[in-house]
Structure formats: structure tokens, C-alpha cells
Amino acid sequence: MSKTTFGTTSTTLLPWLGLALILLIADQFTKVLILGYYRLGDSTYVTSFFNVVRAHNTGAAFSFLASASGWQRWFFTGIGVAATLFILWMLKSHAGQKLFSFALACILGGALGNVIDRLLHGYVVDFLDFHYGGWHFPAFNVADSAITVGAVCLILDELLRVKRS
């Protein structure tokens, strides 16, 4: 029987923590580039449906609570830290479940990327801007993409689990 710890046996957390770290590094690297080369509000046309922009989000997804008085920075940071601890516990308990652990690792990397932004800047740096006609999807970043992929994989994992039983 394998024991799920930080790398002592065949069922290990290391691949999942490695994936989360790669996503975190990719997220922070792209944000450093945006902060270094763009001023708030700057935009570069890429295609008829995509721009690179520099946006600051003091709220949560889709700028939820962005206009609050500042308390949301610490509230969303706290949620991110709590989610991180819960995900680490879940990964330790289920490291052998590949799709489930992949999903959690994606969410972990993304959550940490946005927590780091909130701690360093007081806002999350967003820069991917998709649009069509006059409609713009809210700008987002690599961390948000990782969280979304993770959420989709969690749903898929649950659907597959239900189908098997």
C-alpha cells in the first residue's frame, strides 16, 4: 500500500506540486512582462478579436466587489490562502487520482498566482482581452485560465466518477 506524502512512495504529491509551480511561474512571468512594458489602460491590437491590455482587478472574478472600499483585498487573499491549504490536503489524500489531482494542481497554481498579486500590488494583473464587435469579455490572466481549466476538469472527473458507479 502506498503512502501519499511529499515524495516518499510511488503515489506522490511532487508531480502535482510541480505542475502548480510551473503554472505559478508562467502566471507571474507574464504579469511581470505586462507590468514592465504596459501602463494601466495600455492596449496592443493582436487580432480582430484579441488584444493584450493592462488592467487591474481589485475584485474577484468578473470584477466582483472591485468597487468596495479595500477590505476585499484581504478577504480574497484569505480565501486564496484557505483554498490553498484545502487543496494541499486534498492532493495529499488523493494524489493517485490523476484527473482530480491535475484539476486541483491547476486551481492551486492559479489561486497562488492571484494571491501573490493581491499581496504585492493590492490588485490582480489582467491582460488577456477577448472581444467581438463592441462586446468585451472581462480581461483575465494565466492564473484565471488555470483555475478555469481546473474547474472544468473537476466537473469532468465527477461526471466520469458518476458514470463508473
Q: What is the pLDDT of residues 78-101, one digit of tens each?
A: 888 899 999 999 999 888 899 999
Phi, psi values for residue 53, rounded to 5°? -130, 170
Residue with cell 484565471: 144
Domain ranges of the chain: 15-42+49-164
How many angstroms separate the Cα of 98 from the Cα of each of 26, 73, 154? 22, 33, 11
Supply the pLDDT for residue 9. Answer: 40
Catalytically annotated residues? 126, 144
pLDDT tens digits for range 5-18 = 444 444 588 999 99
